[in-house]
Every structure is written in structure tokens, then in C-alpha cells.
Amino acid sequence: MLVSPDRSPPLGAAFYRVLVVQLLSTLADNAFLIVAIARVIELDGAAWLIPILKVSATFFYVALAPFVGPVADAFAKGRVMLASNAFKCCAIALMLVGLDPVLTIGLAGVGAAFYAPAKYGLVTELVPGSALVRANGYFEAVTVSAVVFGVVLGGFLVSPAMPDVSDWVWMEGPAGAPSHLTAGILVVLGLHAGATLLSWGLADSRARYAPRPWQLGAMCRSFLQENRILWGDALGGLSMAVTTLLWGAGATLQLVVLRWATEALALPLSQASYLQGMSAVGIVAGAALASRWVAMRHAARLLPMGVALGLSIPLMLCVETVPAAAVLLVCVGGLAGFFVVPMNALLQLRGCTLLTAGRSVAVQGCNENAGMLLMLLVYAAATAAGMGVEALVLAFGASVSVAMALVWFAKRRYLQHAPPGA
């Protein structure tokens, strides 16, 4: 399964600039989620509104999926990234004038939905297939590093350490008093503005695709056909099932860890967000190891690690101290990172081969975010029903293990017909 690193082509300056844009944008997105959660708490919102924040952010990834791929392929992907980041800036600015956080994060999700196929598609176009696993390792490491520091930054932005800027920018808090989150929102807005400026002038890969009809019905039919093509492919369907499950599990685990840290370890939100970032540290380490030592042709052999990942989650209930929790979450993240990078690279390569860069990423994003929506809605329903954190952790870990085992056994017969050398 493990191979020695090979000599692959250099990735190029354009790829590294995309990495910087991705770093800033992801940093801002994850900090904004913590700030939005704090805003719900500040406004005395119901507990089930917290997972609904993630649902709102994810909804447009699914609803706009038939259109974001054609848009990413119809225009230079750097320009799409520029427009998407600018739209997110406008959405976040609306929170400063009092827009509900669920609506604000949903509007930002519109920009993020168009941003996703553009960034991944541009990476696929700029990097040769022989270097795609290495590029994905760097990309995932940067992305998850941004998640780590974004979550930590979000915790700092909602802490009492942030200055009072109500004399310059007014945002109303409880009982008409100024909100202590105003400065944090301004920082998030500044990060997105930086990503927008850096998106200007991103390299055009010069990849061009045959034009498609822009009629609504034709686009939806084409998108359904593209889904069937990718799901029907032996390795494409396998990697799609795995990444869909992992993205759904990861989004839900993010909220599970926050709730567990606040209830079981009695941490405030600002400190719970730091602990949540430890799982992302592990993902960075796992992604780095995978990008160096796992060959793409061996990606399917990593499926048992998905079962182990689910079984490791309930170990949270045996932890009673913050240092032990941090170590456990690093290990859980390491399993996920080592597993997801080769599967994601395999899915991108098969998608680009069978479809186009933009359309394949749109299909991938739709399925992965549909998985996130489903798991987040189940989590929101369980929270609204008053399910305890211990029961949630046990049920979540068991669900991940069972689902991954089903994928493993269901896909074995397809692997027997995988394309030679894939």
C-alpha cells in the first residue's frame, strides 16, 4: 500500500497562488461559523439553530449544483473565484446591519457554492495527473490548516479579548446594547476582502470546453446524466460514496465536538473552538503523510480505515481532561486525513477524465453537501428532541462505522472491474 515518493512535475506558481486564496477564504469561512454561532447565542436563539447554521451554509451547494459547474467551465475559473469571494464579502457585511445569522451564512453559501468548482477545477487544470495526489495533499493540508486556525481565530474573535468598536461601527446586541461581536465580524470581512483581491489576476489555465445549453431543464438533465456517469464508474462511484460520507461526518463532528466540549468538559465556546481545531491538526498530519506515501492506485485499499474512524469517535466519552481530549482528536483527525486525500484525488482524476473539471467538481460538491445536509438535519432533529451528548456521540460513531462498512462491502464487486492502472 505504501510507496516511496516519486519524482513528479513541479506544481508551478499559479497553483501556489490558488493555495493562498484558498487559505484566506477558508480561514474566514471557519472563523465566521464560530462568530455566527456566537451571534445565535447572543440573540438567545434555540440550540437547534446552531446546526441549522451549517444547513443554511450548505443548502445552496446542493440547490445550485446543476449550474455552478457550467458557470465554472464557461468562464475563466480565476474570475469565478473573484466574483464568488466578492459576493461573500457583501453577505458578511449584511450581518453588521442586523441581518439574521442564519440568512447571512446562507447568502455567503451562495458565493461559496460557485467558488468550490472553480477552485478545485482550476487545480485540476493547472496540475498534471501524475502530480495530482501531491497537489491534493498540499491543497488539503492548506485547507485543513485554515480550518484549524480559522476555528482558533473564531474562538478569539468571540472572546472578551476583542476590542469594543461600537464608536465606529454599530451592531445591535441584546436589549439594544452594542454587540461585542462587531470587531470579529470586521476581521472576517477583512480576510474575505484579502481573498478577493488576491483572486484578481489568477492564472487562466486556457482550458476550454464545448458550450452547453443554458436552459434550466437542459442543465438539470445534463447534471443528472453527469451524476449517473460518475456514480456508474467503478472507482468514481467508490470514491464518491466515501467522500460524501466523510464530508457529512466531518461537518457533524464539528458541532458534536463543540457541544461535547461545552457540556462534558465545561468549556466556553471560545475555548471549545480551540479544542475542535485539534482534530483538524490531525487531518493536516494525515493528509501530509498520505500525499507523500500513498499511491492513487492503492486508494481503495484504505476503506477499512473508515470503519476504524467511526469506532474511534465514541472514545471521546472516556476522556475527562482537555489534554487527553486534544490527543484523541488529533488521532481521529489523522485517520480522516490519511484516508480522504487519496480518495479525493481519485475522485477528481476520474471526474476530470469522464466529464470536465468544473462539472465533475460540481457533481462531487452536490453529493458531498447533500450528505452534509442529511446528517446535519438529523443532528438538528436529535438536538431539538433533547438527545443527550453521550447518546449523540455513540450514535454518531456507530453510524459512521456501519455506513463505511456498507460502502466497503457494496463496492468490492465494482473494484474487480476497475480500469487497468486507475
Q: Rounded distance, CA 404 to CA 242, Å? A: 7
Collect the ranges in the chain with pLDDT lower than 70. Answer: 1-12, 128-133, 175, 203-214, 291-301, 357-358, 410-422
Query: Is-above-0.85 flag for pTM?
Result: no
What percent of the chain has pLDDT above 70? 86
Instruction: Give yes or no for a contact between 247 and 369, defined as CB atoms under 8 angstroms apart.
Output: yes
Q: Which residues contact 347 (CB under 8 A, 6 or more apart)?
A: 236, 239, 240, 243, 360, 364
Fold of 13-204+218-415: Growth Hormone; Chain: A; (1.20.1250)
Which sequence spans correspond to the domains of the chain? 13-204+218-415
The whole-number pLDDT of residue 89 equals: 93
The whole-number pLDDT of residue 297 equals: 61
The 3-state DSSP class for residue 172 equals strand
- The DSSP bridge partners found for residue 294 are 2
DSSP 8-state secondary structure symbol assigned to residue 355: S
Closest of 29, 65, 131, 54 to residue 379, by C-alpha: 54
- The DSSP bridge partners found for residue 178 are 172
Q: Is 46 exposed, middle or buried (CB count within 10 Å of its CB: 0-12, 13-18, 19+)?
A: exposed
The whole-number pLDDT of residue 411 equals: 66
Q: Which three cell numbers stand for residue 30?
A: 471557519
